C-alpha cells in the first residue's frame, strides 16, 4: 500500500465535516437525512483504513454493523417522514414547528 493512512483519514475527516455542515445548513428533511448517511460513510472509511493499517478485521466488521444500523435508521426515518408528510404535506424542516424550540 503506497497511499499513506493519513490521506484516507483526512478524506474521512473532510467527508465527515461536509456531512455535519450539510446537516446544519440544509432545510429539506430528505437531504438532512442524506447528510447523516454521509457522516456514517466517513466513519466507515475511517474504520476500514484503520483496519488495513493495523491488519485487523475488527474495523471491517464494525463497518458491517454501521451499514446495517444506517439502513435501519434510514428505514425508520423514511417511515417517520411519510407519517409527517401525511399529517402536514411539507418536507421543509422549518415548517415542522408545532413544538417550540
Partner 1 sequence: MRLTALYLFASFSDFQQGRGSVQMPENYVPAFIFIAVALAIPVVTLAIAKAVRPDNPFGTKLMPYECGVDPEGSARGRYTVRFYIVAILFVVFDVETIFLFPWAVQARTLKAFGFIEMMVFLAILIVGYIWIWKKGALEWV
Partner 2 sequence: MPGFHRGDYLLALPMMLLTLFALGVLLIDLLLDRSSKVINAWAAFAGLAFSAAAVHNIQRAFADQAARGEPSSPFFAFSGTLMVDRFAVFFFYLFLAAAAITILMSVRYLEVEDEHHGEYYALILFSVVGMMCMAAGNDLILLFIGLELMAVSTYILVGFLRRDRRSNEAALKYLLLGAFSSGIFAYGLSLLYGLAGSTNLQQISMALGNAMAPGKARVVPAVALVTTAAGLFFKIAAVPFHQWAPDAYEGAPTSITGFMSVAGKASAWALLLRIFLFALGPMRPLYVPILVFVAIATMTGGNLAALTQSNVKRLFAYSSIAHVGYIMLGLIAGTAFLPNPDGIRGILVYLLVYTFMNLGVFGVIASLRRRDIIGDELDDLNGLFFKAPTEAVLMLTFLLSLAGIPPLAGFYGKYFIFLALIESGHYALATLAVIYVAVSAYYYLRVANAMFMRTAGDRVPVTISPGMWAGLAITGAATVVIGIYPEPFLRMVNWSMHVAQNPTVAQLLR
Residues that bind partner 2 (CB under 8 A): 9, 12, 16, 19-20, 23, 29, 32-33, 36, 39-40, 42-43, 46-47, 50, 53-54, 56, 58-59, 61-62, 65-66, 69, 72-73, 76-77, 79-81, 83-84, 87-88, 96-99, 101
9 binds partner 1 (CB under 8 A): yes
Q: Please, which of residues 54-83 interact with partner 1 by CB under 8 A?
A: 64, 67-68, 71-72, 74-75, 78-79, 82
Q: How far is CA 6 from the centre of its chain?
A: 21
Q: How far is the CB of 69 from partner 2 (least distance, A)?
A: 4
- Rounded to 5°, the CA angle 34-36-39 comes to 115
Burial (0-12, 13-18, 19+ Cβ within 10 Å), 49 = buried
**Residue among 60, 58, 46 nearest 17 (CA):** 46
CA distance 4 to 68: 28
Going by the DSSP 8-state scheme, the letter that residue 93 receives in this structure is G
Note the residues at the interface with partner 1 (CB under 8 A). Answer: 1-6, 9-10, 13-14, 53, 64, 67-68, 71-72, 74-75, 78-79, 82, 86
Amino acid at each position: 500500500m503506497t497511499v499513506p493512512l493519513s490521506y484516507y483519514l483526512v478524506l474521512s475527516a473532510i467527508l465527515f465535516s461536509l456531512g455535519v455542515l450539510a446537516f446544519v445548513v440544509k432545510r429539506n428533511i430528505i437531504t438532512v437525512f442524506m447528510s447523516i448517511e454521509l457522516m456514517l460513510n466517513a466513519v466507515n472509511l475511517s474504520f476500514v483504513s484503520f483496519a488495513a493499517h493495523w491488519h485487523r478485521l475488527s474495523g471491517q466488521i464494525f463497518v458491517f454493523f454501521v451499514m446495517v444500523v444506517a439502513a435501519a435508521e434510514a428505514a425508520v426515518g423514511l417511515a417517520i417522514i411519510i407519517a409527517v408528510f401525511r399529517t402536514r404535506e411539507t418536507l421543509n424542516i422549518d415548517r415542522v414547528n408545532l413544538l417550540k424550540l
